[in-house]
Amino acid sequence: MTSVRVAGVGLTQFGRHPDRTGRDLFAEAALTAREDAGVPRQDIEALHYGNFMGALAEHQAHQGPLVAEAAGLTCPATRYEQACASAGVAARQAIKDVRNGEADVVLVGGMERMTNLETAEVTESLAIAADELYEVRAGITFPGAYALMAQAYFSQFGGEREDLAHIAAKNHHNAVNNEFAQYQREISVEQALDSPPVAEPLHLFDACPITDGASALVLVSDEYAEEHDIDAPVAITGTGQGGDKMALQDRDHLAQTPAATKAAEEAYADSGRSPEEIDVAEVHDCFTIAEVLALESLGFYEPGEGIGAARRGETTRDGDRPINLSGGLKAKGHPVGATGGSQLVEMTRLLRGDHPNSDVVADAEIGLTHNAGGTVASAVVHVLEVVN
């Protein structure tokens, strides 16, 4: 099977960009990725692009060819919408393109522009990733939905708000030196505990922010990298995707995320790796409880054991398996359609040694990214490895 190398990566600053359009943001990330790869734009054969709410936030659908043009490309371009997992799904399809020989050079990434809307408008727009008939009409929002999942977890397995506060503090600490992060500042466990309630047991510092931003990667085949003498030491060796019922009320478990478990199992099998071999991971912590659910679905912990991982120091930067060294969605930010691509960018930088936190995992050779959509009705997992 053809190996898929990450030849180049690009990110915009995550945060507020009131004077920029979505196409402009993606063009910046795409140009940075292409320059990092050293690949001529005419060699890019396809664009796979993630975006969730552009039709609402910018009144702009059919974004594939639009952002391709903004990036100076004339290749076929496809937009993927899978809620918060949009860019992760786009990356999975790009990987398949290279593996099956359909392309040697593919650009993949995503973008979301959100801060031009009021907070209530963003909340309403994001809510359409839930079941409109049985959840949205009943007034469910994602803070409320994840609060229900947190309550179910505490009821079934135990845990308390302080466990979640340690996750928030950990991820803010990791973001301090990340130049792309929206919040490059510390918060304490006490500050997280004292922050205003949003939906009990979740408080303000349990939630990720509203974010603008874009991500991009250039993926190439082994053959192309060798022929063009491209230095691409990181490969994506495993990919997996899983799904679950849309509405929480229809699921067998509220305190587990089977879609992520399925995605992880497929990615591990695809790469020939196991959870024990993963040195570092970027997981989808849209809310602090989501990090706990991810750790357990990925096989790092048994159900009920992940809740205290940050508090025990196991997932901190000096722990056995650092989680979200980028700052995660919690502190780095969550421009929904860009997040899955951003996780891959951050992991590539960590493994090849040019991330500000690479020194924390200087000996790491295998990383994992976990990207989830909605209340994890969709999930995508990728395994990345240093290959030379």
Residue 316: inside a domain, yes or no?
A: yes
- Strand-pairing partners, residue 368, are 281, 383
Tell me: pLDDT of 1 over 80.
no
Residue 287: inside a domain, yes or no?
A: yes
Residue 310: inside a domain, yes or no?
A: yes
Q: 202-203 and 197-199: which strand pairing?
A: antiparallel
Beta strand segments in 55-208, E: 77-80, 105-112, 197-199, 202-203
SS3 368: strand
Instruction: Say if CB 29 and CB 339 are below 8 A apart.
Output: no
Residue 388: inside a domain, yes or no?
A: no
How far apart (Å, rounded) are the C-alpha atoms in residues 126 and 266? 28
Mean pLDDT for the stretch of residues 180-189: 98
> Which residues form the catalytic set?
84, 334
Do residues 8 and 93 share a domain?
Answer: yes
Do residues 180 and 216 share a domain?
Answer: no
Do residues 130 and 34 share a domain?
Answer: no
Do residues 47 and 187 share a domain?
Answer: no
Identify the DSSP state of 100: T
Which of 220, 235, 250 is the endpoint of a domain?
235
How far apart (Å, rounded) are the C-alpha atoms in residues 160 and 150? 9
Residue 171: inside a domain, yes or no?
A: yes
Do residues 113 and 23 share a domain?
Answer: yes
Which of 219, 235, 251 is the endpoint of a domain?
235
Do residues 202 and 228 share a domain?
Answer: no
Do residues 41 and 85 share a domain?
Answer: yes
Residue 8: inside a domain, yes or no?
A: yes
Mean pLDDT for the stretch of residues 13-19: 96
Q: Which tokens in the block code for residue 229?
A: 């003498």
Tally of structural domains, the chain: 2
Residue 358: inside a domain, yes or no?
A: yes
Do residues 202 and 230 share a domain?
Answer: no
Beta strand segments in the chain, E: 4-11, 46-50, 77-80, 105-112, 197-199, 202-203, 213-221, 234-243, 280-282, 366-373, 378-386
Distance from the Cα of residue 25 to its chain's centroid: 17
Domain CATH for 57: 3.40.47.10
- Which residue, among 162, 146, 164, has the nearest Cα to 254 in the 3D structure? 146
Mean pLDDT for the stretch of residues 299-320: 97
- pLDDT at 388 (0 to 100): 76
Residue 361: inside a domain, yes or no?
A: yes
Q: Which residues of 286-303 are buried (b: 16+ CB within 10 A; e: fewer)?
A: bbbbbbbbbbbbbebbee
Q: Which domain holds residue 108?
A: 4-117+211-235
- pLDDT at 228 (0 to 100): 96
Do residues 219 and 331 share a domain?
Answer: no
Do residues 58 and 157 share a domain?
Answer: no
Tell me: pLDDT of 375 over 90.
yes
Query: pLDDT of 55-108, one tens digit each?
Result: 999 999 999 999 999 999 999 999 999 999 999 999 999 999 999 999 999 999
Averaged pLDDT score across all residues of the chain: 97
Tell me: pLDDT of 2 over 90.
no
Do residues 81 and 105 share a domain?
Answer: yes
Do residues 227 and 269 share a domain?
Answer: no
Mean pLDDT for the stretch of residues 325-350: 98
Mean pLDDT for the stretch of residues 20-26: 97
